[in-house]
Structures are given as structure tokens and as C-alpha cells.
């Protein structure tokens, strides 16, 4: 495969990842609204650990578990910040 074709594949996947991240963020914002209505804390450490453990358990590589954990920690942080902004 050529470098250009591989890069084109990455560009296409990046757009799909962005779309999925925005879908996740919309769901997180809806959860934030419900938490606000129920007067619940935005931060739920137990749930965040559950998400990370589930992601790591399903990681088949080539990314390391730690790299996946780091990526998802940032995704969770961004979604939590979105909930706080509501």
C-alpha cells in the first residue's frame, strides 16, 4: 500500500472517530442534564473506573492498555467538563 493511500485511510478514520466522539459527548450532556435535575454529582469515580476497565478488557492492541487508558481518561474528562458547563 502507498503512503498516500494509508494516510487517506487515517483521514477517513479520523472523521469517523470525531463523529463517534461527538455522539458520545451528546449522550454525556444528556446524562449531565438528568444528573442536574436529580441534584446528583457530575463526578462518579466508580463509573469512570468501570468505563476504563471495560475499555482495557476489550483492548486487543496494538495500542497498549496504558495508552488506551490515557486516551479514555481524556475523553471522560472532556465529557465531564461538558456536563459541568450545562
Q: What is the pLDDT of residues 33-82, one digit of tens each?
A: 999 999 999 999 999 999 999 999 999 999 999 999 999 999 999 999 99
Local structure of 41: helix, strand or coil: coil
Sketch out the chain's domains with CATH numbers: 3-85 (1.20.59.10)
pTM for this entry: 0.89
Amino acid at each position: 500500500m502507498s503512503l498516500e493511500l494509508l494516510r487517506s485511510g487515517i483521514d477517513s478514520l479520523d472523521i469517523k472517530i470525531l463523529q463517534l466522539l461527538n455522539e458520545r459527548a451528546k449522550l454525556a450532556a444528556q446524562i449531565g442534564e438528568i444528573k442536574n435535575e436529580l441534584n446528583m454529582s457530575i463526578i462518579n469515580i466508580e463509573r469512570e473506573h468501570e468505563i476504563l476497565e471495560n475499555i482495557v478488557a476489550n483492548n486487543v492492541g496494538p495500542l497498549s492498555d496504558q495508552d488506551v487508558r490515557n486516551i479514555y481518561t481524556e475523553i471522560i474528562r472532556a465529557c465531564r467538563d461538558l456536563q459541568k458547563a450545562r
